Every structure is written in C-alpha cells, then in structure tokens.
Amino acid sequence: MFSLIISIIAIALVVALAGASLYYGGASFTESSSKANAAQYMNEASQIAGSISVYKNDEGGVLPSGFALNDLTPSYLVEIPSGEWAVNGSNIVRTGVSGLECFNVNQTATNIEYGSGDTDVTEVDPGKYVPNCDKADLPTEVICCFTP
C-alpha cells in the first residue's frame, strides 16, 4: 500500500512539473517557434528569389507582364514553397499568415518596429503592428505582411 501511495505522489509531482514548465516556459516555446518560422520563411523566400533571378536572366533581364510564381515551375523550382507568397516590387513576402504569427516572425527576423503613426500597417494585437502587403515602401527585410 505504501508503494502505491509513493507512486501516485511521484506521478502527481511529474505532472505538476510538466504543467509548470509549460506555463512558465511558454514564452521560450513561442520565441523558439517564431525563430523556426522566420528561418523557414527566409529560406523559402531566398529559394524563390534565386529562381526569379535565373528566370529574369533567361527572359532578358526583366519579368514579363503577367508574371506569376507558377511560371517558375517546373523549370526553375520543382514546386512553389507551401503557403501563400507574393512578389511586391523587389520583395518576396509570405502572406496568409495569422497576424500575430506574422508580427512574431518579423520581430525575430528584423529590427523594424511599426507603430500606430505608420501608414499602411494593421494592428494585429494591442500595440503590435504588421505592414500591409500593399505598402509602397515595404523594406526588403520584411518576411511577412498582412492582407487586410
């Protein structure tokens, strides 16, 4: 009987420690997830940028009117990386991502901070702003943008 009580107490302690680590370590998990997403998005954007560069070279140095990312497959990319991507001038940005995830990814990858005084931004959480995809002067460092 004593062994049973000790086993139940040990299991309860392990469950309590696991719960506490998730509760108090949540910020670390969120930050790591944002870093992983930022790295993935930057890698995918660089693949698209490289294939666009080769495509432009083959097309005489300019993108033809009506260019779409699907024009890159299968000659330049086996497939377009998953998710929604857009070409905005010289930027290749990920769209269709939740506002808060987009904010976290941009904060992880860049030092650019947007505020209520900036134009063409959307507040996705109190005090957290993400640039709109149609922003005219979207910096090239921005990985993710918001489609309002």
Structural domains counted in the chain: 1
How confident is residue 21, by pLDDT bands cut at 50, 70 and 90?
A: confident
Boundaries of domain holding 54: 30-148
Asked whether residue 18 is domain-assigned, the answer is no
> Contact, 145 vs 133, CB < 8 A?
yes
Residue 147's pLDDT is: 76
pLDDT at residue 10 is higher than 80: yes
Asked whether residue 89 is domain-assigned, the answer is yes
Residue 25's pLDDT is: 65
Asked whether residue 108 is domain-assigned, the answer is yes
Asked whether residue 6 is domain-assigned, the answer is no
Query: How far is it, in rounded angstroms, from Cα 130 to Cα 10?
Result: 46
Residue 27's pLDDT is: 61
Residue 89's pLDDT is: 66
pLDDT tens-digit series, residues 106-141: 777 777 777 777 777 777 778 788 887 777 777 777
pLDDT tens-digit series, residues 27-52: 666 667 767 777 787 888 778 888 88
Asked whether residue 25 is domain-assigned, the answer is no
Query: How far is it, in rounded angstroms, from Cα 25 to Cα 94?
Result: 28
Asked whether residue 9 is domain-assigned, the answer is no
Torsion of CA 106, 114, 99, 69, to 10 degrees: -60
Asked whether residue 14 is domain-assigned, the answer is no
